[in-house]
Structure 1
Amino acid sequence: MDLAVNFLDRHLFTKYSIYPNDWSEDYWLRQCITVYLFLYVGAMLSYFTLCTVNFVFIFDHKLMEHSLFLKNQIPREIKQSVTGGCVHVFYALFIVVPEVRGCGKLYTLEEVQAEGFEGMLLIIRDVIGLILFSDCLIYWIHRLLHHRFIYRHVHKQHHVWKIPTPFASYAFHPLDGFLQSLPYHVYPFIFPLNKHAYLVLFFLVNVWTISIHDGDYRVPAILRPFINGSAHHTDHHLFYNYNYGQYFTLWDRIGCSYRTPSVLEEEAGKIPSKVKQIKKHTN
């Protein structure tokens, strides 16, 4: 995140004297404010842009005809995303600011004097490591959020949307959103991580989160048993105790919480149509 903070300082805050003159670029309060603005404004820009594009061009609008689709649902999803995000980002400051101040193991290829094939191998290592680490921890955090003593206070707010739209992708209780993003913030304190790869993956996980709420179930047949896509996550919203995973189905299979998505069984002729199946299990 320090790359983004330094970029904003160089091209905006310092250049146009936004902060008081006696606030140096490494002053902790200034960094807190800059990080907050970067995370919240960046999140909202990507949220409204990506969700709108997804909703217009990808989302299955027939789902909005279902009886479980709530009145004024999209404005409510947006309101919860915008208001919850304010607090979520505040929580994130306590771990992101120390990272910006150099407490983690983030690095650039120049800093470790790696280039060419060696640099590429380091980035591949970091990408695979962060994806596998976050996929594992998010599964267990998500499953913990479904514990009966926690669910009704925190995670239930997200499951109000039984037929979610892309705009539900950020619609969490602030603590819920923070906990599920925690693995991405914790990883660079434990393992080396390339700064540029970190920013790219942090953006892409938001894209993925939107995609699993869009009702578009198209995944290459060969990958369906392994990828936790929109079909899997739709069943998670409907049946609660299945398909907690983020990217892959591995941990659901290990944790005995995997459910073959209803839409895939429908295609195989094992169950009635998608809408009938949803009504059957939720009336």
Structure 2
Amino acid sequence: MVYWLIAEQLGYFNVDRVKVMQDAKDHISSSLRLIQLDKLFPTFSNFILDSAGQQIGNIIIEYICTLIHTIVFAYILYFTAATSSYFYFFVYKKKKYLPEFKGDLKIAFDIKWSCINTFVESFLVSALRLAMPRFSMIYYDINDHSWLYIPFSILFHMMFDETLTYWVHRWLHTFPYLYTKLHVVHHRSKDVTPFSGFAFHPLDAFAQAVPTFVSCYFFPLHINILLGFSLITTIWAISIHDNVPLVPCKLFLYSTHHSIHHEAGRGQMTNYGKFTSVWDRICQTYWVPDRVYFGWDEWKQRKGIFSKFNSFYSKIVPDKSSEELNKQIKQKKN
């Protein structure tokens, strides 16, 4: 934020804040359009305006609307996605996908912390949402930048988000204080389910979510790209906890990668990435998930489909860490 504000004040960038703010209010994602607190609770809204003044009062009302919108949407998305995934893979189709899965499930614990996390983190995320049109390079009108810029901005955002999330996640495991005070909540569940996807300490979850929301302070980003990545991140968080490797493409850190990450011992120090395995391979914190098998026979066929790509990818970004870790396991067994 400081970088962008200084650059704007020095005249390196020129942003029409009046236009951006109006575009933000007119966008389909605008909380003011969806909630309309002044119509739902006119007495309460008038009280805020009278007590805090017009300008500050409007910001408070916008924050409350954004907060309500964020909390409600997050709860609906979590319970819809997690419940659907759980009942499909762990109940309805368990004999097909997870016949050999026998875990100590902490579903009540995961749901409790998911609810706590969603509620508390929404206060912080809502503040970020208010700040973006006021201070960042976020834009709402597609004509503000060339259509040709869109794929580049998606690539920039992915690289930015992937890099920062990897290091934040790794630091949460590296420093004992951060792990025992924050990240340990998520690792209480050694055997995970889709309900584990949101089970974080709120500050832990916020630290890993910040990269998604702050890339727009370093380069222009269309709001729909940011919203799209936010939605994909949420669905991804649910899917990587279902233990079913539906798309065993080694470019990505899919569910059984994360099953290893939740294991006690050495597994926790591997597979830190968000979507891809690039940083884990570069930093030698990668552990190939092939040894994790819960009885889904079709997985072997799926793996064969991606075998050529996985081999090609391994040549470009070699995996040295998995070989060493597997050797250590064999030595202990012997």
Matches within 5 A, 1:1-283: 2=24, 7-13=30-36, 16-19=39-42, 20-21=45-46, 23=49, 27-59=58-90, 61=94, 68-70=103-105, 73-100=106-133, 102-112=134-144, 118-119=146-147, 121-147=148-174, 148-220=176-248, 224-238=249-263, 239-263=267-291
Residues 228 and 245 of structure 1 are in contact (CA less than 8 Å); yes or no, is this contact kept in structure 2? yes
Q: Secondary structure at the match of 2:33?
A: helix
3-state secondary structure, aligned to 2:260: helix
Distance 1:215 1:79, change over 3 A: same
Query: Paired residue for 2:4?
Result: none
The answer to whether the 8 Å contact 1:5/1:31 transfers is: no
Normalising by structure 1, we get a TM-score of 0.81
Q: Residues 143 and 28 of structure 1: is their aligned pair in 2 closer, same or farther, counting only changes over 3 Å? A: same
Aligned partners of 1:207 and 1:92: how far apart in 2? Answer: 18
Structure 1 SS opposite 2:167: helix
CA–CA distance in 1 between the matches of 2:34 and 2:198? 29
1:192-234: CA deviation from partner (whole Å, max 9, x where unpaired)? 00011211221111011111111111215xxx22111101111
- For 1:180 and 1:11, the matched residues in 2 are separated by 27
The aligned residue for residue 277 of structure 1 is: none
Alpha-carbon separation, structure 1, partners of 2:159 and 2:281 = 15
Measured in 1, the distance between the counterparts of 2:189 and 2:238 equals 14
Report the 3-state secondary structure (helix = DSSP H, G, I; strand = E; otherwise coil) of the residue aligned with 2:181: coil
Aligned pair count reads 258
Larger radius of gyration: 2
Give 1 or 2: higher helix fraction: 2
Q: Is there any run of 5+ residues in structure 2 with no aligned partner, and where? A: 1-20, 295-299, 304-331
Structure 1 residues 124, 80: CA separation in 2 closer, same or farther (over 3 Å shift)?
Answer: same
**Structure 1: 5+ residue stretches without partners:** 269-280
Are the equivalent residues in 1 in contact too, given 2:213–2:226 (CA < 8 A)?
A: no
Q: CA RMSD in A?
A: 2.8
Matched residues in 2 for 1:149 and 1:8: separation? 37
- CA–CA separation in structure 1 for the residues paired with 2:151 and 2:242: 29
Instruction: Work out whether residues 95 and 185 of structure 1, in 8 Å CA contact, stay in contact via their aligned partners in 2.
Output: yes
Q: Quote how far apart the aligned CAs of 1:108 are.
A: 2.6
CA offset digits 1:149-198 (Å, max 9, x no partner): 32111101100011111111000001100000010111111110001121
Matched letter for residue 104 of structure 2: F
Per-residue deviation, residues 65-120 of structure 1 (Å, max 9, x unmatched): 866414xx2122111100122221223344332114x21111134451x5xxx42x
Deviation at 1:263, TM superposition (A): 3.7
Tell me the distance in 1 between the aligned counterparts of 2:114 and 2:198.
Answer: 5
Distance 2:29 2:230 in 1: 17
Structure 1 residues 176, 194: closer, same or farther in 2, change over 3 A?
Answer: same
SS of aligned partner of 1:169: helix
Cα gap change, 1:126 to 1:241, in 2 (>3 Å) = same
Change (3 A) 1:153 1:7: closer
Between the aligned partners of 2:225 and 2:239, the Cα distance in structure 1 is 21
Counterpart CA distance in 2 for 1:139 and 1:40 is 26
Q: Which has the higher contact order (CA 8 A, sep 6+)?
A: 1
* Separation (CA, whole Å) in 1 of partners of 2:256 and 2:284: 18
Cα 1:8–1:186 change in 2 (3 A) is closer
